[in-house]
């Protein structure tokens, strides 16, 4: 009698092969969109009242006139100042 010793064949991992193919495909498609595809241009239609901007650009602004106006002087400030506190300890590595 002859003894025949055969090595067991390992099963093929189809999940690994398919996932590798999907990853490579995603990389190629992403590279195409990033490097080779030209982006579509966005066309913006200008609004009809664009002529009003010419009128606004001709306005002269004088800050002293605003600061000296009666309406500006009637404004009150409701903000409260924040005190300056020293954050943390002088030596943060010193044990408690």
What is the enclosing helix (H) or strand (E) of 62?
A: none
CB within 8 Å of 72: residues ≥ 6 apart: 66
| Residue 43: per-residue pLDDT | 78
The stretch 9-13 carries a mean pLDDT of 83
Tens digit of pLDDT for each residue in 16-68? 999 999 999 999 999 998 898 887 877 777 777 766 777 777 888 889 999 99
22: its two tokens: 């999907």
Structure tokens at 55: 């009128």
Assign 72 a pLDDT band (cuts: 50, 70, 90). very high
Cβ atoms within 10 A of the Cβ of 19, count?
A: 11
Report the distance separating Cα 23 and Cα 37, nearest Å: 20
| pLDDT recorded at residue 31 | 93
Using CA atoms of 58, 62, 65, 66 in order, give the dihedral in degrees to the nearest 10: 90
Task: Judge whether residue 5 has pLDDT over 70.
Answer: yes
């Amino acid at each position: 009698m002859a003894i025949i010793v055969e090595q067991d064949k390992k099963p093929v991992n189809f999940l690994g092969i398919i996932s590798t193919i999907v990853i490579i495909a995603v990389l190629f498609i992403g590279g195409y969109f990033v490097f080779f595809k030209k982006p579509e241009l966005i066309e913006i239609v200008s609004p009809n009242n664009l002529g009003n901007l010419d009128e606004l650009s001709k306005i002269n602004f004088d800050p002293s006139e605003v600061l000296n106006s009666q309406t500006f002087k009637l404004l009150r400030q409701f903000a409260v100042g924040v005190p300056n506190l020293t954050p943390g300890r002088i030596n943060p590595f010193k044990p408690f």
